[in-house]
Amino acid sequence: MRRSNPLTARGRLRGWSLLEGLLATALAVSMTAVAWAQLADWLSMRRLQAASADWAAVLLSARQWSFELQQPVRLDLGSDSRGACLVAHTGQRGDCAGCGAPVVCRPGVQLVARSLPLPSGVSASANISSQLWNPGTRSVSPAGTMRLHLSDGRTVHHVVNLTGRLRRCSPDGPTATWPAC
C-alpha cells in the first residue's frame, strides 16, 4: 500500500483565486458602466416625454377652456428661476407670472392651466412668447412653434397652426414617441 506524503500531495483547491476575483470585478464594473450610460439616456428621454405631454395638455386645455368660457384664453411662455413653463389665463399678455406653485395673476384674471416647471436637463425655446386662443373665430394668433430640448441636442417641437391644431414632432427623425418634422 502506497501512501502519499501529506506535505507534497496537492489536494483539490477550493475557493477563488485573486485573479478570478479581479476578472469578475472588472467584468461587473464594465457592465455596470454600460448599463449606467443607457439608463441615463433612457431617463433623460423620459423627462423630455413627460415635459412634452405636460405642455401638450396645457395647450389643449387652453383651447378647450376658450370654448367653454366663450372668451379668449391667452397662453404665455413664462420663465423664472426654476425654468420655463406655460401659463394659460383669461387676461392680457403678462397678466399672470411665475412658474412655481403660486402663479400670480392680476385681479380679475382667471388662471386656466399651467405646466409644471421643466425637469432638469430639459430647456425650452419658442418663436413666440404668447398666443391668443379665440373661441369666436376658433383660431390661434399667432401660430408658432415651441421647442423642448435635452442637453444632448434631442428636441421635440410643439407646432400650433392658425386653426389651433397641435402637432408634435422631432427634427431628429422619427422616434418611438414622435414622427419626424
CATH of the domain at 100: 3.55.40.10
pTM (two decimals): 0.75
139 within a domain of the structure (yes/no)? yes
Q: What are 80-126's pLDDT values in tens digits?
A: 777 788 889 998 988 888 776 678 888 988 888 888 888 888 999 99
Number of domains in the chain: 1
- Reduce the DSSP state of residue 166 to 3 states and report it: strand
Domain coverage including residue 143: 33-169
168 sits in which H/E element: strand 166-169
Does residue 108 belong to any structural domain of this protein? Answer: yes
Q: 28 in a domain, yes or no?
A: no
Distance of CA 127 to the CA centre of its chain: 19
Cα separation, 116 vs 58, whole angstroms: 10
Question: How much is the average pLDDT of 149-170?
Answer: 91
Cβ distance 85 to 78 under 8 Å?
yes
Lowest-pLDDT choice from 75-84, 127-136, 137-146: 75-84
Given a cut of 60, is residue 9 above it in pLDDT? no
**DSSP E strands, 4-161:** 73-80, 83-89, 96-97, 104-105, 111-114, 122-126, 130-134, 139-141, 144-150, 155-160
Q: How far apart are CA 93 and CA 9, in angstroms?
A: 91
In the predicted structure, residue 141 carries a pLDDT above the cut 80: yes
- Could you tell me if residue 8 is inside a domain? no
Domain assignment of residue 133, yes or no: yes
* Structure confidence at residue 10 as a pLDDT band (50, 70, 90): low
Choose between 123 and 15: higher pLDDT.
123
In this predicted structure, the answer to whether residue 137 has a pLDDT above a threshold of 60 is yes
Residues 62-75, mean pLDDT to the nearest whole number: 91
Confidence at residue 13, expressed as pLDDT on a 0 to 100 scale: 62
* Mean pLDDT taken over the chain: 85
Q: Measured in Å, how far apart are the chain's first and last C-alpha atoms? A: 87
